[in-house]
Amino acid sequence: MVMLANLEIPVEAPFTPEQRGWLNQFLQRELGGGGAVAEVGYDKTRPFPSAILDNYNLNDEASGKETRHVALSLEGSGLEYEAGDALGVYPRNPPEMVEEILVALDLDGAAEVPLPDGGVGTLREALETAYDVRSLSAKFLAGWLARSGSEELRGLVEAENQEGLGEYMWGRELIDLLLEHPVAFADGADFVSVLRKLQPRLYSIASSPKAHPGEVHLCVGVVRYESHGRKRGGVCSTFLSDRSGDQKPGVFVHRNQAFRPPADEGAPLIMVGPGTGVAPFRGFLEERQATGATGRNWLFFGNPHAATDFLYEEELTALLKGGVLSRLDLAFSRDQEEKVYVQDRMIEHGAELWAWLEEGGVFCVCGDASRMAKDVDAALHKVVEVHGGMTAEAAAEYVKGLRKGKRYCRDVY
Ligand SMILES: Cc1cc2nc3c(=O)[nH]c(=O)nc-3n(C[C@H](O)[C@H](O)[C@H](O)COP(=O)(O)OP(=O)(O)OC[C@H]3O[C@@H](n4cnc5c(N)ncnc54)[C@H](O)[C@@H]3O)c2cc1C
Ligand SMILES: NC(=O)c1ccc[n+]([C@@H]2O[C@H](COP(=O)([O-])OP(=O)(O)OC[C@H]3O[C@@H](n4cnc5c(N)ncnc54)[C@H](OP(=O)(O)O)[C@@H]3O)[C@@H](O)[C@H]2O)c1
């Protein structure tokens, strides 16, 4: 934004420091101090178009999983982050899905429609970049019932049949709804009036800015599944894996002050990050290495198979060899008959884990919130109980104390 006396002139994008300096000199010279270039940063409402520098699969081709290492450029954005922060990414919907919707609804993709944040665009562009053309919700189904008059939907919506609604929605998307319960929209504007805005997705940052100046790295688990006879994919993870090409996704930094490497550089750090949960810990280790932190570092990592799913294997084994990682405990869940998870390794090495905690250790967990984080929490309580010689109640108090002292932090989703 350029300020001329009291006049604010908005410009397309924030200035680089050089551009700002040059403009300020110009305004000073021409207006005798009557103008200035105010600092305007990129954020959630003004995402930075970021070039993709690297994008590859961390799993072996033979794996059932696909987890991508994605490196993005922050050059010229003025965006700053710390290890532990997350990056917001604005995806684009698949053009084939948009085309299928346009055909099913017999709508003209070139027609102008309003965009969620104001302004207008073509219907095709709006459906690709600005509106959610996948997700269903109870409210959305109620709106669809009003337009379609479908008896099946009426049975689910009007009976407030939560279980039936959930069952109907699981594995279904907008395309299924509009094929199964057709609705005639007057035009593109009528159609987008029922849609929600396409939301950005958050990813734990997998790098330290000290190790990769001007870059930000992500570790993205690609969501693919089949349901109701269709192959489907998560919008953002498949955008990053399949459709980002030479595009520049809009990104912003999402601060996570409560999730940081220990402020005390001598404090031991215990990290539990199975699957994509390893992401922030790559950043923490890079940070501890770059700052020469003297505290010991212990990582628990798990995934289905050692041969195909050992994410960042080379880097982690090099860090172990070089002494940045003092311990690396692995839980490859499907390499033996009985499943082995990170919390089993915590229990196995409980005496040492207890010793690290007693030395002022900071305990951090990242990854699946629905099951893993709960089971790891239970294992932490068990370790404190058994090796600290405490009752369950006393162990719970001890763990509460860790949280209060900011020595138990979680980034779970
Ligand atoms: C703070 C935070 C940090 C995160 N960090 C990371 C990270 O580091 N790495 C990472 O990979 N993710 C991370 N996530 C998750 C990430 O934000 C996205 O949720 C994830 O990538 C999926 O987004 P998507 O757009 O690909 O899928 P979406 O389009 O959002 O689709 C996901 C939806 O698909 C449906 N679905 C998925 N599988 C099935 C199935 N088998 N059957 C039926 N339906 C199914 C479910 O409804 C699910 O909610 C993080 C989330 C948060 C909040
Ligand atoms: N919103 C989304 O659609 C989406 C997309 C991507 C990631 N995520 C989130 O990110 C998490 C990480 O995904 P990811 O694919 O990298 O890894 P993941 O599914 O969490 O799997 C990583 C490892 O954890 C194991 N595991 C399963 N249950 C566990 C438990 N209760 N406790 C400890 N370990 C357990 C898995 O074993 P087994 O598989 O052999 O049981 C596997 O070895 C997901 O679980 C999910 O919460 C969400």
> Strand pairing of 201-204 and 408-412?
unpaired
Please indicate, yes or no, if residue 17 is contained in any of the structural domains.
yes
In this prediction, residue 263 carries a pLDDT of 95
Q: Is there an atom of ligand 2 within 6 Å of 379 CB?
A: no
User: Minimal CA–CA distance to 70: which of 238, 218, 235?
Assistant: 218
Domain range for 179 is 95-192
Q: What six digits make up the tokens of 284? A: 């923490």
End-to-end CA distance of the chain: 36
Please, are residues 302 and 274 in contact by the beta-carbon 8 Å criterion?
yes
The whole-angstrom separation of Cα 121 and Cα 133 is 16
Q: For residue 273, which ligand has an atom nearest its CA?
A: 2
Q: What is the pLDDT of residue 28?
A: 63
Q: What is the pLDDT of residue 162?
A: 86
Indicate if 206 and 158 belong to the same structural domain: no
Q: Would 7 be classed as within a structural domain? A: yes
- For ligand 2, whether the C-beta of 268 sits within 6 Å is no
Shared-domain flag, residues 188 and 224: no
Do residues 216 and 254 lie in contact, with contact meaning Cβ atoms separated by under 8 Å?
no
Instruction: Let me know whether 209 and 120 are in one domain.
Output: no
| Same structural domain, 186 and 123 | yes
- Ligand 1 atom 42, closest CA: 171
Q: Is residue 42 part of a domain?
A: no
Burial of 198 (0-12, 13-18, 19+ CB in 10 A): buried
Vertex 319 angle, CA 316 and 322, to 5°: 150
pLDDT reported for residue 36: 55
- Same domain for 311 and 395, yes or no, is yes
The residue whose CA is least distant from atom 3 of ligand 2 is 223
Helices H, strands E: what count in the chain?
Answer: 16, 19
- From the number of C-beta atoms within 10 Å of its C-beta (0-12, 13-18, 19+), residue 203 rates as buried
Structurally, the chain folds into a number of domains equal to 4
| Smallest-distance ligand from the CA of 135 | 1
CB 412 within 8 A of CB 369: yes
My answer on whether 282 and 396 are in the same domain is: yes
Question: Residue 170 is encoded by which pair of tokens?
Answer: 């699981």
Instruction: Give a yes or no: residue 260 inside a domain.
Output: no
pLDDT per residue as tens digits for the range 123-176: 999 999 999 999 999 999 999 999 999 999 999 898 888 899 999 999 999 999
334 lines ligand 2 (CB under 6 A): yes
Which CATH number does the domain housing residue 65 bear?
2.40.30.10
Residues 379 and 273 in one domain: yes
Report angle CA 58, 62, 67 to the nearest 5 degrees.
Answer: 25
Ligand 1 residue neighbourhood (C-beta within 6 Å): 86, 91, 134, 170-171, 201-204, 219-221, 223, 225, 227, 234-237, 276, 279, 413
Domain presence at residue 259: no
Walk along the chain (413 residues) and give the pLDDT tens digit of each residue.
455 544 555 554 555 555 656 666 666 666 655 555 555 699 999 999 999 999 999 999 999 999 999 999 999 999 999 999 999 999 999 999 999 999 999 999 999 999 999 999 999 999 999 999 999 999 999 999 999 999 999 998 988 888 999 999 999 999 999 999 999 999 999 999 999 999 999 999 999 999 999 999 999 999 999 999 999 999 999 999 999 998 999 999 999 999 999 999 999 999 999 999 999 999 999 999 999 999 999 999 999 999 999 999 999 999 999 999 999 999 999 999 999 999 999 999 999 999 999 999 999 999 999 999 999 999 999 999 999 999 999 999 999 999 999 999 999 99
| 23 and 52 belong to one structural domain | no
Q: What is the 3-state secondary structure (H, E, C) of 157-215?
A: HCCCCHHHHHHHHCCCCHHHHHHHCCCCCCCHHHHHCCCCECCCEEEEECCCCCCCCCE
Q: Are 36 and 6 in contact (CB under 8 A)?
A: no
Predicted pLDDT of residue 11: 54
Distance (Å, whole) CA 304 – CA 300: 14
Q: Are both 218 and 239 inside the same structural domain?
A: yes
**Pairing state between β 269-272 and 362-367:** parallel
CA–CA distances in Å: residue 68 to residues 57, 206, 369: 4, 11, 20
Q: What's the Rg (C-alpha) of the chain?
A: 25
Q: For residue 263, is it within any domain?
A: no
pLDDT at 160: 81
Asked if residue 321 is part of any domain, the answer here is yes
What does DSSP assign to residue 197? B
212 located within any domain: yes
134 and 242 inside one domain: no
Whether 227 and 346 map to the same domain: the answer is: no
Identify the nearest ligand to the CA of 66 by its number. Answer: 2
**Coil, helix or strand at residue 384:** helix
Domain CATH for 149: 1.20.990.10
Looking at the structure, tell me whether residues 76 and 105 fall in a common domain.
Answer: no
Contact 199, 254 (CB under 8 A): no
CATH code at 319?
A: 3.40.50.80
Tens digit of pLDDT for each residue in 61-94? 999 999 999 999 999 999 999 999 999 999 999 9
Q: Are strands 224-227 and 230-233 parallel, antiparallel or unpaired?
A: antiparallel
